[in-house]
Amino acid sequence: MIRSPRVAVFADAAAVARSLARRVADAIRAKPTLVLGLPTGRTPLALYAELSRLHEAGEIDFSRVTTFNLDEFYGIPSDHPGSYRSFMRTHFFGRVNIDPARTHLLDGSAADAAAECERYERAIEDAGGIALQILGIGTNGHIGFNEPAPELEARTHRVTLKPETRRSNAALFGGREEDVPREALSMGMGTILQARAVVLLATGAPKAACVERVVNGPITTALPASFLQLHPDAVLMLDEPAAARLTPNS
C-alpha cells in the first residue's frame, strides 16, 4: 500500500534543511520559473540559510522563481518589522537574487480583507499554481494559520488568531504578546492541498506527538495537517526527535 504522506527521517535539523534545499535547487534547475509556496516560523530558518548559501555558491539562480507565502498578519503594513514580509526579507529574499515583484505575500494592510484573499487566490492561479508547497506545523497540528476547529476554510481567508499562536509569535513583536495582531490572512486547506507537491518540515521533540497523529491518526479538522493524508505527493521531512513516536513501519 502506498501511504500518504511519505516520511523521510534525518539525523538532525541541519540534514533536513540540506536535503530539502537540494530538492529545491534541482527543481529550479529543471524549471527556472518554478512556483514555490513558503512558510515562516523557526523551523524553515535552516532551510532559508542553506538556500542562501547555495545561491552564494552559484548553485541556485532565483531570478525567475515565483513565491507565495502561506499567511500574513492582518492589520499591520507589510513594512512593519513584525510582518511576515519583513521576516522573509531578512531571512531569505534579501539574501538571494529573487525578483521582489515575484515574491507574493498577502497584504495585511488591505482595507477589504475578502477582496485581498480573492486577489491572492487569483494570483496563484495566474502563476500556474504552486508546484512545491513547503509547510511548517504547529504543535497543535496547524498549517499556515489553519487552526484546529470544527470546520476548516477551503480558500484563502481572514482568521482570528488563538492566544497560543499570538504567544508563539511574540518574538517578532519585541516579546510583547499584546502587540501581536489579533487577526491574520491565510491560505485555506484547499489552497494548500492544490499544490502539486507538498513538503512538511518538522524538527524537534515538541513536534513528535502531532507528527505521529498526522501519519497514523484519522483525518480530522482537529488536526489540520492530517489532511495531507489525502494529497498524492506529500512528504514529512523530520529529524529524529520529531520522528521519535513513529514505528519503523508507520
Report the catalytic residues: 71, 140, 142, 147
Would you say 42 or 176 has its CB closer to ligand PGA? 42
Q: How far is the CB of 151 from ligand PGA (least distance, A)?
A: 20
Buried b (16+ CB within 10 A) or exposed e, 184-219: bbbbbbebbbbbebbbbbbbeeebbebbbbbbeeee
Residue indicated by cell numbers 479538522? 221
* Residue with the CB atom nearest ligand PGA in the bound state: 41
Give the residue with the Cβ less far from ligand PGA, 59 or 204. Answer: 204
Shortest distance, CB of residue 42 to ligand PGA, whole angstroms? 3
Residues forming a β-bridge with 159: 184
Which of 41, 241 has the CB closer to ligand PGA?
41
Instruction: Tell me how far, at minimum, the Cβ of 208 lies from ligand PGA, in Å.
Output: 13
Q: H helices of the chain, where? A: 13-30, 45-56, 84-91, 113-126, 163-168, 189-193, 208-216
Nearer CB in complex with ligand PGA: 42/167: 42
Q: At its nearest, how many Å lie between ligand PGA and the CB of residue 82?
A: 14
CB-nearer residue toward ligand PGA: 109 or 140: 140
| Residues that bind ligand PGA in the complex, under the rule CB under 6 A | 41-43, 136-138
Contact 39, 134 (CB under 8 A): yes
Least distance in Å: CB of 131 to ligand PGA? 21
Q: Quick one: DSSP state of residue 89?
A: H
Strand intervals (E) in the chain: 6-10, 35-38, 66-69, 71-74, 103-104, 132-135, 157-160, 183-186, 197-202, 234-239
Burial class of 154 by CB neighbour count within 10 A (0 to 12, 13 to 18, 19+): middle
